[in-house]
Amino acid sequence: MNILLVEDEDALAAYVEKGLRENGHHVEYAGRGDSGLEMASGGNYDLMIVDRMLPGLDGLTLVKTLRDQGKHCPVLILSNLGGLDDRVEGLNAGADDYLPKPFAFAELLARVNALLRRPPLSQEPQLLKLGDLELDRIRRKVTRAGAAITLQPREFALLEYLLLHQDQVITRTMLLAGVWNFHFNPKTHIVETHMSRLRSKVGSDLIHTVRGSGYTVRAPNADA
Ligand code: CA
């Protein structure tokens, strides 16, 4: 795969680049945010790895600018700022994943591979709808009857998954795998907790519990 790496720490960039090449990827490199944006705007990459703090242009502005240009290439942000707020800010800027430094190369590679396995957004609908609810997958915005709804990244991912699987029963196992990437039962109420928060934000008339099976979504007037 064709990966663009934008990172100003030479040693780290060389280490990441070498590892990705050894795993069969083609890597192009920029050491500044502005040159990275230029390459990304003009090029066709399968994935970008972008450091947050960069000379020329910071990583988040780079990602926002790319999204505004309509570029949907998956972006993994690297950052020394690993706090929850920083991660949320990164994801809200349009990044697909966020990896705090320092990291093990194995973890970077696992996340890169997970992002590359996702079908490109361009082949899927960008706007998901259910009744008067709309989810914009590119701008990462949700509205109901035109009013903006603020969701945490995991709630957004959960809603996105539900909307992509309308008209079917969505099991807890599907949600754990599809939204959390858990292929085991974490023995917690993680799904129920997030579902309850999501319902309280988008309205409880859209997400229905199917007793003993899971969940299903349908528009309030689509019962017939
Ligand atoms: Ca940096």
Whether 58 and 76 map to the same domain: the answer is yes
Task: Indicate the residue among 116, 141, 164 that finishes a domain.
Answer: 116
Please give the residue range of the domain that contains residue 48. Answer: 2-116
Ligand 1 mean position to 78 CA, how many Å?
Answer: 9
Output the CA 54–ligand 1 centroid distance in Å.
Answer: 5
Prediction pTM value:
0.58
pLDDT in tens, 117-129: 876 555 667 899 9
Q: How far is the CA of 219 from the centre of ligand 1 (A)?
A: 46
* Higher pLDDT, residue 38 or 96: 38
Domain count, the chain: 2
Tell me whether residue 224 is in a domain. no
Residue 183 has pLDDT above 80, yes or no: no
CA quadruple 103, 104, 107, 112: dihedral, nearest 10: 80
- Quote the Cα angle for 101-182-99, to 5°: 10
Could you tell me if 127 and 169 lie in one domain? yes
Cβ–Cβ under 8 Å, residues 51 and 79: yes
Q: How far is the CA of 68 from the centre of ligand 1 (A)?
A: 23
CA of 189 to the centre of ligand 1 (A): 37
Q: Is the pLDDT of residue 196 over 60?
A: yes
